[in-house]
Amino acid sequence: MQTDPDGMNALTQEDKARLEQTGLEVGMEHRTGSFFQKDQEVIHCTSVAEGLEVIPIAEAMEKHPWIEDYLWNAVPADKDKYTSYVASQEEPRGVVIIAHEGSKPIYPLQACLYLVDEPVQHVHNIVIARDGAELHLISGCASATHEQQGAHYGVTEFYVGKGAKITSTMIHNWGAKINVFPRSAAIVEENGVFISNYVCMHPVRKVQMYPTASLVGDHAVAQFSSIVVATPGSYLDLGSRAVLLGKHTSAELITRAITTGGTIISRGHVIGATEETRGHIECRGLVLSDGIIHAIPELEARVAGTELSHEAAVGRIARDEIEYLMARGLDEETATSTIIRGFLDVKIKGLPELLQRQIDAAIDAAESGF
Amino acid sequence: MLDIEDLHVEVSGREVLHDINLHINEGETHVLMGPNGSGKSTLLMTIMGFNRYTVTEGNILFRGRDVTSLPIHERARAGMGIMFQRPPTIAGLKLGKLLEVAAPPGSSGNTKEFVTSLNMDGFLDRDINQGFSGGEIKRSEILQLMVQKPDFVMLDEPESGVDLENIHLMGASIAALLQKDVHIVQRRKSGLIITHTGYILDYIDADYGHVMINGSIRCHGNPREILRLVKEKGYMECITCRQIQTA
């Protein structure tokens, strides 16, 4: 399936620059497929890998009627007013991505959601990795200018089959007047792996999300990592939740949060519902200037035999760390930025090197402000 | 190289160093001994310029320049280097990265050689000091100093926590830092070393020894002789010795 392959090439240089900060590769050199939606219009949709389908959701429902079974299954349609809004749309927008059995493309697939001049952009995405399949998704979300007002409601449902793996990396580059309400959830079957990464280092008015992974099959694994910076005026209410339902399932929720004046609420919730399960929440926050970091880790053990833990540390950069580097000849400013870069350097287990490099590059680009 | 004159230092509003005078010439190595809590580490930290240590009186001159009020990094760039006894752990900052930023601009790129000589190849991608053993911290600190190439080196108990297998390696590396292989006339590097055990004296010929008691330097002399006396009679002798003299 291909929709206007030149769509991305028609972007202005400025658009390209903003989107590239979210990981978009216009040239598609290291991409296995691509989906690009501008406001409500699907500009580009293609897959170059065998066993990998990338189809706009409306088409997918015609082509694969069984997709119905996956709609509003992981995320309930009536969860809140945002999901209800997306569910009520007569013409659904978004993408269905299916990695068929055994499909293991090396390069990631990119999905790009670009808000230009609509008051609300809504999307509903379904991402399915069939048994044994592997899929790496990098989603970039951006608005055209920092001055623009608007909202983005995005529902994404992930289905990870037996022995399958999905990594989903979302990089946000919205503007200071945009409200963003992603609603996503994953259902992970036996031996499945779901890795979710979130990077937001640019101003945004409000982001509110609380993705949930339900580990229904034995030995399923979930890992959430968030690397976020709240600039003055930004309000980031972020969480992640793992429900350990299968035996020997495990989850790790990691957050690195920096405020330079904005507010970050860092929630985490692990529910140990079965024996022989493990969960860990780790939140580290740096308050660089007057802002708020509010860490709310929740551990909910429902049976004996689940091991849940959390560690959180929020504060300023320790003076002894800065002085240690100054004693090696770094001035205070360089010492501070070196420490911040290290703080944000989260190596995510199970991520292809290429994707890790992409995340590193996105962070590096945003770090120039420190 | 280093001249300390009538130095008084406060920590949290309390004077902890009193009237310190110390002169270290180019090429000389001095050792500082004294009981726990006597102020030895405080002196090193003050010379380096750490924030917690406030000089209330006196001066620190480095190569004739008054550095008493200079920020830490300017002292480092002027040629001072320090080995930390308990360096902080910095999450995410790799040792390899730190070596990169600590190398002075335009310095010869023999970092790799130093890393191998200290058996630190496996540590470059590790967060600095995270989970390092006592001996590994010492090797990492020496490695950083080798890359930094200071002219005046301050070492705080370099032998503590180092196993017997590595003590020779540490001793040899410190000797190299202090140019002990260079004839005294040509030697440019100087050092001030805190030692409890004196093991380090087997690897470096120290020129002078000083004993610090309760924030004051009580005596100066031949380092081996001082060490022998301390081993025989303990530091109490130093305390009473001065009391008798002043009585």
Q: What element of type H or E holds A339?
A: helix A332-344
Write out residues in chain A with pLDDT < 50, as ranges: 1-3, 5
Interface contact B88-A284, CB threshold 8 A: no
Question: Is the residue at B139 inside a domain?
Answer: no
Distance of residue B238 Cα from the nearest chain A Cα, in angstroms: 33
Distance of residue B188 Cα from the nearest chain A Cα, in angstroms: 20
Question: Which among B93, B95, B144 is the top mutation candidate for probing chain A, defined by the most A β-carbons within 10 Å of its own β-carbon?
Answer: B93
Interface contact A332-B73, CB threshold 8 A: yes
Q: Which of B76, B82, B90 sits opposite A339 (nearest CB)?
A: B90
- A334 has a chain B CB within 8 A of its CB: yes
Q: What is the 3-state secondary structure (H, E, C) of A196-225?
A: EEEEECCCCCEEEECCEEEECCCCCEEEEE
- A27 has a chain B CB within 8 A of its CB: no
- B247 has a chain A CB within 8 A of its CB: no
Q: Which amino acid would we find at residue B123?
A: F
ipTM of predicted complex: 0.93
CA dist., res. A110 & res. A169, Å (int): 9
Tokens of B207: 């020129």
Q: What is the pLDDT of residues B164-183, one digit of tens each?
A: 878 888 888 898 888 888 88
* Domains in chain B, number: 1
Phi, psi of A51 (to 5 degrees): 80, 5
**What is the band of B246 on the pLDDT scale with cuts at 50, 70, 90?**
very low
Contact list, A340 vs chain B (CB under 8 Å)? none
Domain coverage including residue B57: 2-86+152-246
Looking at residues B100-125, what average pLDDT do you find?
86
Contact list, A345 vs chain B (CB under 8 Å)? 92-93
Task: Determine how β-strand A33-38 pairs with β-strand A41-47.
Answer: antiparallel
Question: Is the residue at B63 inside a domain?
Answer: yes
Eight-class DSSP state of B200: G
Question: Which among A320, A324, A331 is the top mutation candidate for probing chain B, defined by the most B β-carbons within 10 Å of its own β-carbon?
Answer: A324
**For A34-70, b where at least 16 C-beta lie within 10 A, e where not — what string?**
bbbbbbeebbbbbbebebbbbbbbeebbeebeebeeb
Question: Is the residue at B162 inside a domain?
Answer: yes
Coil, helix or strand for B163?
coil
Supply the mean pLDDT for chain B: 89
Minimal Cα distance from A317: which residue of B? B90
Contact list, B102 vs chain A (CB under 8 Å)? 328-330
Q: What is the pLDDT of residues B43-57, one digit of tens each?
A: 999 999 999 999 999
- A117 has a chain B CB within 8 A of its CB: no
Q: Which amino acid would we find at residue B244?
A: I
Question: Is the residue at B95 inside a domain?
Answer: no
CA dist., res. A95 & res. A45, Å (int): 9
Interface contact B90-A324, CB threshold 8 A: yes
- The answer, yes or no, to whether residue B107 has pLDDT greater than 80, is no
Distance of residue A327 Cα from the nearest chain B Cα, in angstroms: 6
Question: Taking the domains of chain A in order of start, what are their residue ranges?
Answer: 13-318, 319-370
Contact list, B146 vs chain A (CB under 8 Å)? none
- A254 has a chain B CB within 8 A of its CB: no
Q: What local confidence, expressed as pLDDT, does residue A3 receive?
A: 46
Contact list, B72 vs chain A (CB under 8 Å)? 323, 326-327
Q: Which amino acid would we find at residue B209?
A: G
Neighbours of A364 (CB within 10 A): 12
| CB pairs A-B closer than 8 Å | 70
Question: Is the residue at B117 inside a domain?
Answer: no
CATH of the domain at B47: 3.40.50.300
Q: What is the pLDDT of residues B122-146, one digit of tens each?
A: 999 999 999 998 889 999 999 999 9
Per the confidence metrics, is the pTM higher than 0.95? no
- More confident: A325 or B236: A325
- B140 has a chain A CB within 8 A of its CB: no
